[in-house]
Structure 1
Amino acid sequence: MDTFFISHGSPMTSIDDKLPARHFMQSWQKNILPTKPKLILVVSAHWETPEPMVNIVDRNDTIHDFNNFPKVMYELEYPAPGAPELAKRVRELLNNAGFNTKEDKRRGLDHGAWVPLMLMYPETDIPVCQLSVQPEMDGGHHYNVGKALAPLRDEGVLIIGSGSATHNLSISEPEDGPVLPWAIEFDTWLKEALIDQRHEDVKKYEEMAPGAKMAHPWPEHLYPLHVALGAAGEMAKAELIHHSWALNSSLSYASYRFTT
């Protein structure tokens, strides 16, 4: 099973038919992954914890973790089955690799998980487990988390890192304006580093990438990429499977497939 990094973008992706990324996610089963996985593990930028944590539930609640959006978005539900056995397996693999893990028996899916999944797998028939990120740690830590989870790929588990290739929501520019230079620079660097298999550079993106601090004032939206990349292995090849821009020309929807 290949691993993936999906830029989930704005929660508006769930309803805004003008967004190209929405159509990309809707075409997932036709164009990207025709064979359904048995289980899904989502590493979401919107669950931050000091140590890796998984949710162990029988049925996932839908967390509407956003404010001041259209009312209809708060009525959306994605009641995917939970994946308790997968959660236990994730903990086993991470604990064996030296990580200190924890579990949450109440948490459902935040919008970093359910927004893309409701478009990719609207049938809600695949059990889903969610894994947190550690914003106080670095890219190397998250790459190693993914490396520990690599055996899941042979067990029919689809590993999705859900974040954003660029994520600076403090920038305000006209919606129809040109893409901002710092966003282009970082987005291009990330694509080239991944395709050239410069994994060490990606781990140390804050030092190596142009415009890194502008593109990611906080790192949580890029760390899911490190997990997905690490899970694909040291020889992983990257393929850009979607690219578009939104939100005042600074939010990249660049999404990648990692193949060993």
Structure 2
Amino acid sequence: MTLPTLFVPHGGGPCFFMNPGAEPDPMWRPMHDYLAGLIDSLPERPRAILMVSGHWEEAAVTLHHGDGQPLLYDYHGFPAHTYALQWPASGAPDVATRAGELLAQAGFATGMEQTRGWDHGVFIPMMVAVPGADIPVAQMSLRRSLDPAEHLAIGRALAPLRDEGVLILGSGMSFHNLRERGSRVTPATDRWDAALADAATDPDPAGRMARLADWESLPEARYAHPREEHLLPLMVAAGAGGEDPARVDWRGEVLGWTVSAYRFG
């Protein structure tokens, strides 16, 4: 069974867990519910997840080889209880090793890491999607170059993992401009979301890759991403998706932004 690849929004800080024991804020509830149904939506339950977050960059692609990680509470100004959240999943050092082999075969230099905690781009959405913490995870960094074509190629190199029971999961935000937060979605966020969706779901795989590599030419691109680290996990997911069909998997509104998730395969 070949698993799809996914790009999902991870929200803002610990957004789903602001009130202990309570439901998420209504604004975040649709995104929460999408993430909560993510694993059941797959053709089979993955044996492991390879996750790339918009919150980790290194000069070379770097992979966690730890068997379980502490959590890195890399957000600021939130309630004290959000710095004690736990998600005690196992690591997946075998997946990290295999991913490193595939990347090396494709000509990418890789690094190994064993002590850095899982950042909130990993554990916050995973606390919702895998509340039992019973799927092992290996985290992979972005390249600090933030070159979209390189990240598409990284995804292509990792594609064999899809046939090995590993879910390749990009975690970011399709819109991420923290200076633009309000109570209503602006026309500019809608224009960006429509343009990105048209590129990411292009039925011609070659056209899709070319348009994503040239994402800066899309309408409102730099308004949506003054810096593109939250968009690059999409490139990894799309690259790993290869020639498979692509679709918008979820769309919603948060913080005055239109935000989308994508599925390839």
TM class by shorter chain equals: over 0.9
**1:33 CA displacement:** 2.1
Distance 1:140 1:84 in 2: 27
**1:54 CA displacement:** 0.5
Contact 2:63 2:111 in 1 (8 A): yes
* 1:189 aligns with one of 185, 188, 195: 195
Contact 2:176 2:225 in 1 (8 A): yes
Aligned to 1:27: 37
**Structure 1-normalised TM-score?**
0.92
* 2:146 aligns with one of 120, 137, 146: 137
**Structure 2-normalised TM-score?**
0.91
* 1:81 aligns with one of 87, 90, 93: 90
In the alignment of these two chains, the number of paired residues is: 251
- Structure 2 residue 264 is the aligned partner of structure 1 residue 253: no
**1:183 CA displacement:** 1.2
**1:36 CA displacement:** 1.4
Letter matched to residue 238 of structure 1: A
Aligned to 1:206: 216
Instruction: Extract structure 1 runs of 4+ deviating beyond 4 A.
Output: none
Relative to structure 1, the CA distance from residue 210 to residue 4 in structure 2 (aligned partners, 3 Å threshold; closer, same or farther) is same
Distance 1:137 1:45 in 2: 10
Letter matched to residue 202 of structure 2: D
Aligned to 1:241: 249
Task: Point out where structure 1 has 5 or more consecutive residues left out of the alignment.
Answer: none
Letter matched to residue 108 of structure 1: G
Contact 2:248 2:262 in 1 (8 A): yes
RMSD of aligned residue pairs (Cα, Å): 1.4
Distance 1:73 1:159 in 2: 27
Contact 2:60 2:144 in 1 (8 A): no
Amino-acid identity (%): 39
**1:70 CA displacement:** 1.8
Distance 1:158 1:13 in 2: 24
Aligned to 2:66: 57
Q: Residues 55-134 of structure 1: matches in 2 within 5 Å?
A: 55-134=64-143
Letter matched to residue 23 of structure 1: D
Contact 1:28 1:34 in 2 (8 A): no
Contact 1:142 1:227 in 2 (8 A): yes
**1:135 CA displacement:** 3.8
* 1:155 aligns with one of 164, 168, 174: 164
Distance 2:10 2:245 in 1: 21
Letter matched to residue 214 of structure 1: Y
SS of residue matched to 2:222:
helix
